[in-house]
Amino acid sequence: MFSQQTMFNSFKQNLPMIVSVLMLLFLSHILMNYIVDNINCLNCFLGTNLAFWVQTTLIGLSAFFAYLAFRSHEKTSSQRATIDLMLAQNSDSNYQNMRDNFAKLRVEKADLTTQLNDNPVSRREDNRHIMTVLNQYEFISTGIREKALDEKIYRSVYRGILIKDYEFMSPWLAQLRSLENNPKIGEEFERLALK
């Protein structure tokens, strides 16, 4: 899903923070060497020298700033992944055709449960467009739960349609769960829609 260009842009976006952390580490190393060379004889807290505490403090600060950089990068990455996913959805003609067929059924207020039958093979074939939409929602819901995608961005764009699709699909989902004897079908989608 991510191209080399996307990874390069992400790296380029976080380059100032990475450089700042590296400079902090470099300066702390220089300061630590100066202290060790010039103040080695001073005893400090609990019988250790001052250099030990300066070094420990600087390492702690470096770790803290590295953590902040990582968290910032993690949030930016999930936001970028969400936007990339939405762009990919909009440019995928196969998904758009399936989505249009599903939307047509929703507008017509069709009874989706009439498309379900006891034959699993024909059931999958007859419900391909509905299953495609459901699987896409499941994928997105799992990505949001695992923090790979940003829920706030996704909800701000698709909240209304997500709820409409869930309300329209829920009787069909209940019957499919019963036919397949699998209560977990559509579970992630349901969790996202009802949140």
List average pLDDT for each run of 10 residues in the chain, which is 195 residues long. 54 69 73 63 54 77 83 81 87 90 87 72 73 91 90 90 91 88 91 89
Q: What is the pLDDT of residue 113?
A: 78
Residue type, 27: L
What is the pTM (predicted TM-score) of this model?
Answer: 0.64
Residues 71 and 77: beta-carbon distance below 8 Å? no
Q: What is the pLDDT of residue 24?
A: 73
Torsion of CA 150, 151, 154, 158, to 10 degrees: 170
Q: What is the pLDDT of residue 136?
A: 92
Distances (CA, A) of 63 to 13, 18, 19, 59, 139: 21, 13, 14, 6, 34
Q: What is the pLDDT of residue 36?
A: 63
Q: What is the pLDDT of residue 9?
A: 60
Q: What is the pLDDT of residue 1?
A: 45
Q: What is the pLDDT of residue 166?
A: 92
Q: How far apart are CA 35 and CA 145, in angstroms?
A: 48
Q: How many residues does the chain have?
A: 195
Q: How far apart are CA 166 and CA 136, in angstroms?
A: 13
